[in-house]
């Protein structure tokens, strides 16, 4: 069984009907526009045969009045009605007469947009010869902005999402002198409903064309599939379909990541959501229009969500059939394929005639990765292909975690799993996915870092993600495959399995995919600061399948030994800071022999990692800076180590009055991690692993540091347990496939046992 978000069949549509408005004036208006002609309704007989239905027809809106989308139908009628109302003109007024009066009245048109609506409003403003201001989110690509600007509009980029752009456009439209600012928006707001209603009416021309074209073919549509953004087009479609003598079933399609209609249908009330980005830009909306919602609630028969990858594949399919479409347009094809594949016999049968609304023409977009991947091996391969090299470590500019974070949010959304982006440092996001339990159980967090070290040291293709063999074992190759995208993939796969099996866990399963572990652990610190907690945590770092219950911490301390700068010939005035550093190094070496020893982790250690001093050979150096790294055991603290170093420096100064130093300072500190080897969490993980592997894995300490220490410090008992492989930070890196599979199965058991 798949873990993806199910199709929602709306039980409220039985015997629903509507009164569809008279479209005579609307049709006359559109036919008066220069370049008007009906768009094609193209049969896809091969697809109909594949899906077992009578006919599949695509309404191709790739060229509507010279623009590459249907939006101009609603926007043009909305503009015409809004300007006519503002100027108190009758609906029989010609465009030429309206243009003259609008120019004389200083009319300015406003709109917010994800792309095509704004371009269509700008087209009408150019037709009328009036000013136009279009508001867009900062996330909109330059190409889309440019196409709107080419229509003569002024672009205003706002910080925030589409909903914020709407509010800004509304505010600024009210500030135009003489009240001549007119907002033409397809999103209804409280007190702003008339213009969106006119825009909805405008799409009726498309419905009239479909009815005429299908009639000429001698058939009758039984299903119509429509994309949903704010719901304006879907409102028109639903109202039209349920007004026919024989009602037509309405299927609404949304992106996985912007399913505001489906969420509202599930809750039975208008619900706003936070969207997480999609190539279906025009459908990336978080709130259904208030005027559309009442109709959609009772008239939409099925709500289907699709991934960016499914939409992309549908674009490719339509192109193979000679139909140009963008991702929003192709979404209807993706929805129909999903509907047929998942057995919706109540909507589709061998007699069905399906009309797909392809709402936009071809455009550029980033090619998405497949989020349907369920197994840990496939997920490891996909995650490895995403460049997430840490920008603070990479010799070349590191890509950072944004792209992989976007993928993970889409992966969660595809399954209807709650996710939260945590990004207090711009460009360094983490994402937390939560599979909610029914309540009363223990929560379990899996914490996995999504950054990698630099790709520069990798010998071949660092982003291959390919499956190959090494030493007779099947492996996944690529930077980060072992450290630690495979570990994260095992947790994701186990979560997908838990959701698909419908096993009702009482406790929450949390996956924290965190940034920056390879450097300063920004991501785990961020999620802890945001309040994320669990009853226990597993960090699936690569441990070669041993269970690690302890590791050392570390403290970096900088020590400035101070001298007196002077010319090299001035032996009386100069004091050599580098030479004096030797006194400190000898004392430090002796101190290193007295460091504490832990019963599990062994001795604390230290080494001098960096030494910097002097300006040129001919001068006495005024300063020598030594950076010392301490690998610490429980009981050692940042404060105690700095205090000890200060004591060493003071003792040296007592015996050498010329010895100078600045206050030693800790620049980075991470705690040690240690829980008992017989802790209940250790026992539970060991038990689950043994049932899968056939023997109990050993419980040991590990030499490396990881984020388990931060979680434990925050009161979350944590264990480190991950797969086997080779090449950590090396010129070739891989993870063993069989090890990944074993870990996935172990974590599935752990979810069920721990969170039961």
Q: CA 38, CA 63: separation in Å to the nearest integer? A: 10
Domain end: 156, 171, 196, which one? 196
- In this prediction, residues 480-486 reach a mean pLDDT of 98
Name which of 449, 446, 77, 20 is nearest 237 in CA terms.
20
Pair (537, 393) in one structural domain:
yes
- The answer to whether the CB of 415 falls within 8 A of the CB of 3 is yes
Name which of 350, 412, 347 is nearest 10 in CA terms.
347
Pair (621, 646) in one structural domain:
yes
Pair (541, 401) in one structural domain:
yes
Query: What are the tens digits of pLDDT across the range 572-626?
Result: 999 999 999 999 999 999 999 999 999 999 999 999 999 999 999 999 999 999 9
pLDDT at 116: 86
- The answer to whether the CB of 415 falls within 8 A of the CB of 496 is yes
Pair (579, 454) in one structural domain:
no
> What is the average pLDDT score of the chain?
95
Domain end: 294, 328, 358, which one? 358
pLDDT at 585: 98
pLDDT at 449: 98
Q: Is 598 left (phi over 0), alpha (psi -120 to 50) or beta?
A: beta
Pair (389, 476) in one structural domain:
yes
List the structure tokens of 515: 């940034």
- In this prediction, residues 19-47 reach a mean pLDDT of 94
* Alpha helices in 193-320, H assignment, sequence order: 194-202, 204-216, 232-241, 260-267, 293-299, 308-320
- The helix (H) or strand (E) run that includes residue 37 is none
pLDDT at 206: 97
Query: What are the tens digits of pLDDT across the range 196-236?
Result: 989 989 999 999 999 999 999 999 999 999 999 999 899 99
CATH of the domain at 652: 3.30.70.360
Query: What are the tens digits of pLDDT across the range 342-358?
Result: 976 779 999 999 999 99
pLDDT at 502: 67
Residue 110: inside a domain:
yes
Query: What are the tens digits of pLDDT across the range 72-106?
Result: 999 999 999 999 999 999 999 999 999 999 999 99
Q: CA 282, CA 70: separation in Å to the nearest integer? A: 11
- The answer to whether the CB of 77 falls within 8 A of the CB of 198 is yes
Residue 14: inside a domain:
no
| 394: confidence class by pLDDT, cuts 50, 70, 90 | confident
Q: CA 41, CA 57: separation in Å to the nearest integer? A: 6
pLDDT at 503: 67
Pair (100, 184) in one structural domain:
yes
Domain end: 620, 636, 671, which one? 671
Query: What are the tens digits of pLDDT across the range 237-278?
Result: 999 999 999 999 999 999 999 999 999 999 999 999 999 989
Pair (214, 154) in one structural domain:
no
CATH of the domain at 448: 3.40.630.10
- The helix (H) or strand (E) run that includes residue 380 is helix 376-384
Strands 553-562 and 623-632: antiparallel
Residue 587: inside a domain:
yes
Pair (83, 52) in one structural domain:
no
- The answer to whether the CB of 558 falls within 8 A of the CB of 710 is no
Query: What are the tens digits of pLDDT across the range 268-304?
Result: 999 999 999 899 988 999 999 998 999 999 999 999 9
Q: CA 712, CA 416: separation in Å to the nearest integer? A: 30
pLDDT at 598: 96
How many CA atoms within 13 Å lie on the side-chain side of 616?
5
List the structure tokens of 137: 């989110």
Tokens 């087209």 belong to residue: 123
Number of domains within the chain:
4
Transcribe 528-570 into DSSP letters. Answer: HHTT---SEEEE----TTPEEEEE-EEEEEEEEEE-B-EETT-
Pair (525, 566) in one structural domain:
no
CATH of the domain at 268: 3.40.50.1100
Q: CA 498, CA 644: separation in Å to the nearest integer? A: 51
Pair (248, 260) in one structural domain:
yes
**Residue 16: pLDDT above 90?**
no
Residue 65: φ, ψ to 5° = 55, 35
**Residue 144: pLDDT above 90?**
no
Strands 553-562 and 473-477: unpaired
Query: What are the tens digits of pLDDT across the range 41-79?
Result: 999 999 999 999 999 999 999 999 999 999 999 999 999
**Residue 316: pLDDT above 80?**
yes
Range of the domain at 261: 43-61+206-358
Pair (526, 656) in one structural domain:
no
Q: Please count the other Cβ atoms lying within 10 Å of the Cβ belonging to residue 538.
A: 29
Query: Cα–chain-centroid distance for residue 294?
Result: 30
What pTM, to 2 d.p., does this model score?
0.90
* Maximum Cα–Cα distance across the chain: 108
- The answer to whether the CB of 146 falls within 8 A of the CB of 168 is no
Residue 114: inside a domain:
yes
Residue 15: inside a domain:
no
pLDDT at 536: 98
**Residue 23: pLDDT above 70?**
yes
Residue 9: inside a domain:
no
Task: Label residues 127-158 b or e (16+ Cβ within 10 Å = b).
Answer: bbebbbbbbbbeebeeebbebbeebebebeeb
- In this prediction, residues 655-661 reach a mean pLDDT of 94
3-state secondary structure of 663: coil
Residue 8: inside a domain:
no
- In this prediction, residues 303-329 reach a mean pLDDT of 98
Query: What are the tens digits of pLDDT across the range 678-687?
Result: 999 999 999 9
Residue 592: inside a domain:
yes
**Residue 409: pLDDT above 90?**
yes
- Quick one: DSSP state of residue 437? -
Query: What are the tens digits of pLDDT across the range 520-548?
Result: 999 999 999 999 999 999 999 999 999 99
Pair (721, 590) in one structural domain:
no
Query: What are the tens digits of pLDDT across the range 174-199?
Result: 999 888 999 999 888 888 999 998 99
CB-count exposure of residue 280 (10 Å: 0-12, 13-18, 19+): buried
List the structure tokens of 50: 């594949």
**Residue 430: pLDDT above 90?**
yes
- The helix (H) or strand (E) run that includes residue 661 is strand 660-661
pLDDT at 72: 93
């Amino acid at each position: 069984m798949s873990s993806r978000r199910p199709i929602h069949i709306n039980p409220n549509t039985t015997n629903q009907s509507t009164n569809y408005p008279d479209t005579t004036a609307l049709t006359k208006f559109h036919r008066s526009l220069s370049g008007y002609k009906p768009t094609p309704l193209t049969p896809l007989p091969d697809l109909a045969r594949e899906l077992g239905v009578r006919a599949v027809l695509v309404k191709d809106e790739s060229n509507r009045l010279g623009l590459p989308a249907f939006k101009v139908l609603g926007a043009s009628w909305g503009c015409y009605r809004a300007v006519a109302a503002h100027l108190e003109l009758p609906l029989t007024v010609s465009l030429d007469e309206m243009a003259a009066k609008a120019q004389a009245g200083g009319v300015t048109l406003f709109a917010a947009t994800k792309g095509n609506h704004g371009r269509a409003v700008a087209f009408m403003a150019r037709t009328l010869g009036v000013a136009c201001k279009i508001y867009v989110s900062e996330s909109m690509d330059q190409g889309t902005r440019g196409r709107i600007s080419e229509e003569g509009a002024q672009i205003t980029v706002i910080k925030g999402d589409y909903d914020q752009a709407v509010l800004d456009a509304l505010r600024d439209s009210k500030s135009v002198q003489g009240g001549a600012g007119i907002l033409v928006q397809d999103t209804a707001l409280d007190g702003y409903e008339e213009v969106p209603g006119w825009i909805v009416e405008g799409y009726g021309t498309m419905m009239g064309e479909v009815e005429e074209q299908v009639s000429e073919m001698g058939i009758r549509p039984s299903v119509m599939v429509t994309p949903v953004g704010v719901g304006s087009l879907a409102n028109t479609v639903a109202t039209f379909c349920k007004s026919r003598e024989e009602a037509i079933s309405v299927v609404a399609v949304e992106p996985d990541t912007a399913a505001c209609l489906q969420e509202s249908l599930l809750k039975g009330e208008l619900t706003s959501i936070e969207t997480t980005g999609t190539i279906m830009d025009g459908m990336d909306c978080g709130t259904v229009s208030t005027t559309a919602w009442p109709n959609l609630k009772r008239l939409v028969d099925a709500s289907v969500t699709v991934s960016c990858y499914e939409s992309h594949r549908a674009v490719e399919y339509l192109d193979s059939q000679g139909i140009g479409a963008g991702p929003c347009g192709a979404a209807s094809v993706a929805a129909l394929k999903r509907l047929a594949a998942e057995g919706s016999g109540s909507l589709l049968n061998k007699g069905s005639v399906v009309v797909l609304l392809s709402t936009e023409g071809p455009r550029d977009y980033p090619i998405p990765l497949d989020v349907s991947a369920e197994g840990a091996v496939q997920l490891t391969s996909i995650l490895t292909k995403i460049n997430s090299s840490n920008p603070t470590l990479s010799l070349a500019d590191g890509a950072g975690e944004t792209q992989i974070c976007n993928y993970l949010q889409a992966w969660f959304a595809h399954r209807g799993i709650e996710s939260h982006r945590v990004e207090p440092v711009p460009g360094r996001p983490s994402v937390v996915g939560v599979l909610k339990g029914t309540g009363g159980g223990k929560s379990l967090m899996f914490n996995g870092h999504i950054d990698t070290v630099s790709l520069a040291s990798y010998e071949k293709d660092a982003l291959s993600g390919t499956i190959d063999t090494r030493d007779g074992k099947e492996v996944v190759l690529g930077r980060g495959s072992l450290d630690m995208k495979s570990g994260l993939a095992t947790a994701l796969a186990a979560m997908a399995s838990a959701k698909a099996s419908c096993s009702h866990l009482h406790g929450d399963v949390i996956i924290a995919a965190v940034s920056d572990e390879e450097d300063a652990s920004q991501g785990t610190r961020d999620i802890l600061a945001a309040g994320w907690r669990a009853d226990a945590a597993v960090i699936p770092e690569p441990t070669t399948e041993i269970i690690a219950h302890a590791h050392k911490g570390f403290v970096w301390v900088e020590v400035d030994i101070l001298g007196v700068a002077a010319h090299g010939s001035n032996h009386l005035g100069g004091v050599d800071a580098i030479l004096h550093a030797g006194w400190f190094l000898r004392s430090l070496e002796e101190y290193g022999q007295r460091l504490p020893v832990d019963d599990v982790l062994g001795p604390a250690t230290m080494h001098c990692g960096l030494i910097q001093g002097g300006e040129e050979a001919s001068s006495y150096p005024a300063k020598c800076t030594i950076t010392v790294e301490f690998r610490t055991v429980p009981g050692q603290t940042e404060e105690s180590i700095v205090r000890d170093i200060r004591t060493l420096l003071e003792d040296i100064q007592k015996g050498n009055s010329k010895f100078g130093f600045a206050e030693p300072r800790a620049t980075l500190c991470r705690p040690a991690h240690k829980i008992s080897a017989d802790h209940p969490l250790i026992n539970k993980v060991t038990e689950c692993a043994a049932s899968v592997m056939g023997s109990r894995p050993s419980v040991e300490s590990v030499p490396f540091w990881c984020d388990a220490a931060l979680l434990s410090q925050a009161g979350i008992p944590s264990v480190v347990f991950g797969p086997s492989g080779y090449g950590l930070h090396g010129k070739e890196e891989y993870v063993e496939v069989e090890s990944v599979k074993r870990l996935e199965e172990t974590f599935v058991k752990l979810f069920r046992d721990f969170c039961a």
